[in-house]
Amino acid sequence: MKKVIKNGTIVTATDTYQADLLIDNGVINQIGKHLPLDDAEIIDAKGCYVFPGGIDPHTHLEMPFGGTVTKDDFETGTIAAAFGGTTSVIDFCLTNKGETLKSAIETWHAKSKHKAVIDYGFHLQIVEMNDDVLHELPKVIEQEGITSFKVFMAYKNVLQADDETLFRTLISAKELGALVMVHAENGDVIDYLVKKALKQGNTDPIFHALTRPSEVEGEATGRAAILTGLANSQLYVVHVSCADAARKIAEARNNGIDIWGETCPQYLVLDQSYLEKPNFEGAKFVWSPPLREKWNQDVLWNALKTGQLQTVGSDQCSFDFNGQKDLGKGNFSKIPNGGPIIEDRVSILFSEGVKKGRITLNQFVDLISTRAAKLFGLYPRKGTIAVGVDADIVIFDPTVVRTISVETHHMAVDYNPFEGIKVTGEPISVLSRGEFVIRDKKFVGQLGAGQYLKRGKYGASDHSGTTNLV
């Protein structure tokens, strides 16, 4: 059935205006005033913003990590995402040395196909570049529409790749039209510092942060940027946590290197002191890179405002406090890294960013949706409000005040790192391709309704977004 969203304020990455939307067959059919209402369901969005569904470019759903598996899978994770105003996620498909890329991708399809309630795509990890991988990569792009490759520069002996692999991945990506993503921390130096700390009996969660100083993130970011320039390629740095790394990205951009940076809500709102909470509660705040000294937050906000960082991903990677995070009691290096963020990404950015005057409303839409669509080959099908695009829409009340809590969140984990933080603004209803997933704050979607997204090549929809609709 057709739908008309009436009386709302439409917000895109560039414009804010009053208009109604006619949705037909899952796409936006008309935008304007006095739209034909016959046969259409009317949805009143008075007092609300109407913006494109969030695109979360960084999730780890049902991912094996640190001897356990992330608690949220494609069912609970995408439901929570939808509650939070996100209508597409791009998840990291992990690979094992010696395994074919095809087999790794099949594993990720099996995890997601019948569970996801919103649309989803995959980035592909490259753990080792060799002739077999090189041979498979064109098929990964053409058949699977996976146009972003992830290289970890940290997690020695687990996920970490060496510089040769990073460099060869950059060269291949340039040839094939893909974007390389890096987790930028110097894994070798961290490994040394961790062993040294443990030998000295320093086992508490705070030593996770102290053994991963911001210099090792800055160094790896700078090294990856230099290799990108040398390969004349393109790079996206995930989860930038600190000034050292943000400045390396800004410097490389000023030197003409095609490099982009993502930060995450946790780095914008929480800080290193959380790792010192008593009774092992600091483990709830263990991410890699770690939370930083508070002053870094101003640098990150400023980088978002000035365009030196371009996206905000969740890095959703959730583990229960009881039964998972506690694997690291007595040894901080065994605390599974990551946290549950997927649901609060959009709200945190609106409340802490727009409401506090740090970014504009249009920048907010760009940061949570449009820019990711452009960088990851989804634009303009996703990431904007225009005639002909998927009707992935958030109806957002900018006045509601709520307190984030594990008691009310929809993620599968037993804590929320933003517990007690008050946010202004909340998604009321969320539509995916014209169908309600969240209606009046209730889940009404369907398991398996999310479609797999084959994505376009890097640069095919140019970053200013001038490609025609396909």
Return the number of the residue (130 or 331) whose C-beta is nearest ligand URP.
331
Binding-residue total with Zn ion (CB under 5 A): 2
- Please report whether residue 244 would count as binding ligand URP according to CB under 6 A: no
Choosing among ligand URP, Zn ion, none, which partner's interface includes residue 415 (Cβ < 5 to 8 Å by kind)? none
Answer for the pair 86, 124: CB distance below 8 angstroms, yes or no.
Answer: no
- Which one of 62, 219, 258, 315 is in contact with ligand URP (CB under 6 A)? 315
Answer for the pair 345, 312: CB distance below 8 angstroms, yes or no.
Answer: yes
Q: Closest approach of Cβ 160 to ligand URP, in Å?
A: 11
Distance CA 451, CA 429 (A): 20
Q: Closest approach of Cβ 270 to ligand URP, in Å?
A: 13
Return the number of the residue (60 or 358) whose C-beta is nearest Zn ion.
60
Binding-residue total with ligand URP (CB under 6 A): 9
- Which one of 2, 3, 6, 60 is in contact with ligand URP (CB under 6 A)? 60
Q: What's the length of the chain?
A: 470
Return the number of the residue (111 or 239) whose C-beta is nearest ligand URP.
239
Residue nearest to Zn ion (CB): 183
Answer for the pair 30, 387: CB distance below 8 angstroms, yes or no.
Answer: yes
- By C-alpha distance, which of 82, 19, 35, 14 is closest to 427? 82
- Please report whether residue 317 would count as binding ligand URP according to CB under 6 A: yes
- Which one of 20, 315, 320, 392 is in contact with Zn ion (CB under 5 A)? 315
In angstroms, the first-to-last Cα distance of the chain is 23
- Alpha-carbon 294 to chain mean position: 22
- Please report whether residue 337 would count as binding ligand URP according to CB under 6 A: yes
For ligand URP, the binding residues in 110-129 under the rule CB under 6 A are: none
Q: Closest approach of Cβ 63 to ligand URP, in Å?
A: 8
Return the number of the residue (162 or 435) whose C-beta is nearest Zn ion.
162
Neighbours of 434 (CB within 10 A): 19
For ligand URP, the binding residues in 284-313 under the rule CB under 6 A are: 287-288
Q: Closest approach of Cβ 337 to Zn ion, in Å?
A: 8
**Helices 295-306, 243-254: crossing angle, 10 deg rounding:** 30
Answer for the pair 203, 226: CB distance below 8 angstroms, yes or no.
Answer: no
Q: Closest approach of Cβ 26 to ligand URP, in Å?
A: 32
Choosing among ligand URP, Zn ion, none, which partner's interface includes residue 287 (Cβ < 5 to 8 Å by kind)? ligand URP
Q: Closest approach of Cβ 302 to Zn ion, in Å?
A: 23
Choosing among Zn ion, ligand URP, none, which partner's interface includes residue 337 (Cβ < 5 to 8 Å by kind)? ligand URP
Q: Closest approach of Cβ 36 to Zn ion, in Å?
A: 45
**Pairing relation of β-strands 86-93 and 119-125?**
parallel
For Zn ion, the binding residues in 145-184 under the rule CB under 5 A are: 183
Task: Give the per-residue contact string, 153-192, with ligand URP (x = CB under 6 A; - = no).
Answer: ------------------------------x---------
Look up residue 124 and give its amino acid. Answer: L
Q: Closest approach of Cβ 181 to ligand URP, in Å?
A: 10
Q: Closest approach of Cβ 287 to Zn ion, in Å?
A: 8
For ligand URP, the binding residues in 399-458 under the rule CB under 6 A are: none
Distance CA 450, CA 258 (A): 32
Q: Which residues contact Zn ion (rule: CB under 5 A)?
A: 183, 315
Q: Which residues contact ligand URP (rule: CB under 6 A)?
A: 60, 183, 239, 287-288, 315, 317, 337-338
